[in-house]
Amino acid sequence: MEVDERSSGEHGASAGEEGDAGSGSLPRAELDLSQFLPYRLNRLADRISDELERMYAERYDINVAQWRVLAWLSHCDELTAKKICGYTNMDKARVSRAVQALEDRGLIHREPSVHDQRVHDLHLTPAGEELLASLVPDAQAWEAELVATLSVGEYRDLFNAMGKLERQLERIGRR
C-alpha cells in the first residue's frame, strides 16, 4: 500500500492545506520513482553491478571497470582506450585507471598503434586470457542464476524490449 506523504499529517497539513488555495499556484508536481522506468532500470543496473563487483573483487581482485576492459578485449582483438570509453559509457579517467591497473598486473599490454602513433592499442596478455578463462564462466553462471526466474520467452522479450529502447534513444537523441 502506497502512502501519500502530503496527506499523512507528517508536516501538520493535509494536501488541501498546502498553500493558499486562492493564490492560483500550481499543484506540486509528483513523480513516483517506483513507476518511472529510467529510475527502475538504473537502480536494477546499479544492484547488478554492485553484486558483480563483489564477486569480481572476492575471486579475481578486479573491479567492474577492469572487468569491462577485459571483456571488451576478449571480444575484440585490438582496442584503444577511447573505443572502450565509447563501448562502455565509462569516462576517460575511469577507463585510464582500469587500463593502468590491468597493465600493472600484467593482464594487458599497450603498444603504439600502427595507424596512429599517438594512440595505443590494448591487447590481452596470456595472464589476462588465463584470468578470463575462469572469470567468464563465473560471470555467465551468475547471469544464469539471475535470469533463472524468467522463462525463455521473457528473457528473449527483455532483450528485444531493451533493443527497442536503445534504438528509440538513438532516434530521440538526434533531435
Say whether pLDDT at 33 is over 50.
Answer: yes
Say whether pLDDT at 113 is over 90.
Answer: no
Confidence (pLDDT) at 6 = 42
Q: pLDDT, tens digit, for every residue of 58-76? A: 999 999 999 999 999 998 8
Closest CA to 32 of 57, 71, 2: 2
Q: How far apart are CA 68 and CA 90, in angstroms?
A: 9
Domain hosting residue 97, numbered range: 34-173
Say whether pLDDT at 150 is over 80.
Answer: yes
Phi, psi of 163, rounded to the nearest 5 degrees: -60, -45
Confidence (pLDDT) at 138 = 95
Q: Note the pTM of the prediction, 2 decimals.
A: 0.73
- pLDDT-derived band at 21 (thresholds 50, 70, 90) equals low
Q: How far apart are CA 100 and CA 119, in angstroms?
A: 15
Q: Which cell is 42 given?
A: 538504473
Say whether pLDDT at 85 is over 50.
Answer: yes
- Assigned domain for 136 exists: yes
Burial class from Cβ neighbours inside 10 Å (0-12, 13-18, 19+) for residue 115 reads: exposed
- Average pLDDT, whole number, for the chain? 87
Write the CB contacts of 15 (distance below 8 Å, at least 6 apart in sequence): 4, 6, 7
Q: Which cell is 1 given?
A: 500500500
- Assigned domain for 20 exists: no
Number of domains the chain is built from: 1
- Assigned domain for 27 exists: no
- Assigned domain for 2 exists: no
Say whether pLDDT at 16 is over 50.
Answer: no
- Assigned domain for 3 exists: no
- Assigned domain for 12 exists: no
- Assigned domain for 94 exists: yes
- Assigned domain for 7 exists: no
Residue 93 backbone class (left: φ over 0; alpha: ψ -120 to 50; beta: rest): alpha
CATH number of residue 124's parent domain:
1.10.10.10
Say whether pLDDT at 24 is over 80.
Answer: no
